[in-house]
Amino acid sequence: MKNFKFAIAALAIACALAISAFATATINFDIVKVNDDGLYKIVATAVNEGGKYTAFKADLTFNYDIIKPANKSTGALTNIATSTTSKAPVQVTNYYNPDDDETVTAVQPQNPQWTVNESTATLVVEQGLPGGHDVGEGLMMMEMSFKFADGKGITDLKAGDFVVDYVKYADLVTHEETFNHPTETNTLTVNNNVIPMIIVDLSVPVEAGDRVYLQDGTVATAAAAGDFDIPSENGYVVVNKGYTSQKVYLVQAGTISECEDYRDGTLGTDESSLRDDAKATGLRFKSTFAAALKPLVKEYGFLLTVGMPADHELTMDLVAQGKAKSGVAYNQASGTDIFYSLDGERIVVTLVAVGIPLTKEAVTANMTVRPYYILENDKIIYGETTTRQVFEVARAIKNTDATTYNAYKDYIDSIIALVPSEESEAYVDLGELFKFD
């Protein structure tokens, strides 16, 4: 049985940060017009600032009744049904090396692999640059040249006419990342922009009062039960029902699905208490994490701040600004694994804020705590916040919990004594009401 604690001095939290910060790559698929003779190309571009690309693989599916692969140089259609390993429509990564005055082209361990099954075709492309190359704000991974079938055009493309089935990207800096791996969580962001005109209506089921955290970090409260409309941008949507339930949804390529493995991943509680013993003296908070979550995340723990305005959200952004701190309960890389107890399929973790000055200002300051966890792809999921004052907790214990009060009597009384009773209670003079005629 363990717990962990924060040290707070002069209302500023003094503890070391333990935030993992790793860059992740993005692969964008876009459609580009090549010339006025009807030649187009689908371009996959990697974006990974500071990265050094080494390998790439993509599995693609497209509507062969609309998209007809063509020779990248001549524009002539390529019969991929018979030429199942043709390189003609495909261009892989290449760049000019001024030091050697030559163009360097990625190595393909095998030719492109084409299949055709009636109106559906697939393409598998794999390549690599063993020595690596800077990615920066954009490096072409592959191009597939094509023409539209007779009578077809870009407006005929609909959802499902171009699908990114799988992508693997390897980098000397960020290592291997994947999208749609059959057994692993997505660690690579893929944007399918080939069909940009499709407007998708997406929603999540909610009940009145649910807090909905959208892909861009904005927050909304559901006014009524029903379907809550959400943007179609790729990313995670979290629906928190107070401290009782949490659902996480992933929006990807215009579709939404619940990440059931993350259900009720972290739940805050409204429980708080005081601790005063040889190990720690301070204000204690409690949250729980799903035990099944541990193999799926890099880290979980608490965020804590003091005096946060009501219109702010307690997130890692405040940590980055130096206005909040994080305390790590579990970290995969370091081996940290701190918990208070196990309760069935949930891990109970407590946080004790220690070193709180015994001043009126300190014990009446609002302390806000929030649980969080970090996925393997560095996306952060938050639970709901809890805000407490040391003084209000001390007074509640004295009024309702004789056992705890007797255990920490001196500490509790010293807190309560800092706030004059006239400031902690409302008084109404009823004298005039007793002057009967």
pLDDT tens for residues 124-137?
999 998 888 888 77
Residue 23 is predicted with a pLDDT of 44
Assign domain 4-21+264-388 to a CATH class. Answer: mainly beta
Report which secondary-structure segment, H or E, holds 319. Answer: helix 316-320
Does the fold of domain 26-187 match that of domain 4-21+264-388? yes
Phi, psi of 367 (to 5 degrees): -105, 125
Give CA–CA dist 36/21, Å, rounded. 45
Longest dimension (CA), the chain: 109
149 DSSP 8-state letter:
P
pLDDT for res 15: 30
33-57 confidence digits (pLDDT tens)? 999 899 999 999 999 888 889 999 9
Dist CA 70 CA 39 (whole Å): 8
The secondary structure of the chain in percent helix, strand, coil, rounded to multiples of 5, reads: 10, 50, 40
Q: Which residues of the chain have pLDDT under 50?
A: 1, 6-23, 197
Residues 6+ apart with CB under 8 A from 364: 389, 390, 391, 419
Which 8-state DSSP code applies to residue 110? S
**Domain boundaries along the sequence of the chain:** 4-21+264-388, 26-187, 202-250
Residue type, 24: T
The dihedral built from the CA positions of residue 374, 378, 384 and 390, taken in this order, carries a sign that is positive
Residue 419: which of 399, 397, 389, 382 has the closest Cα? Answer: 389
C-alpha torsion angle, residues 95, 99, 101, 106 (rounded to 10): -30
pLDDT of residue 281: 87
Q: Give the pLDDT score at 278.
A: 81
Buried b (16+ CB within 10 A) or exposed e, 232-259: bebbbbbbbbebeebbbbbbbbbeeeeb
Q: What's the confidence (pLDDT) of residue 7?
A: 46
Distance CA 37, CA 35 (A): 5
Q: What is the CATH number of domain 26-187?
A: 2.60.40
DSSP-derived secondary structure letter, 358: S
User: Is pTM, for the whole model, over 0.75?
Assistant: no
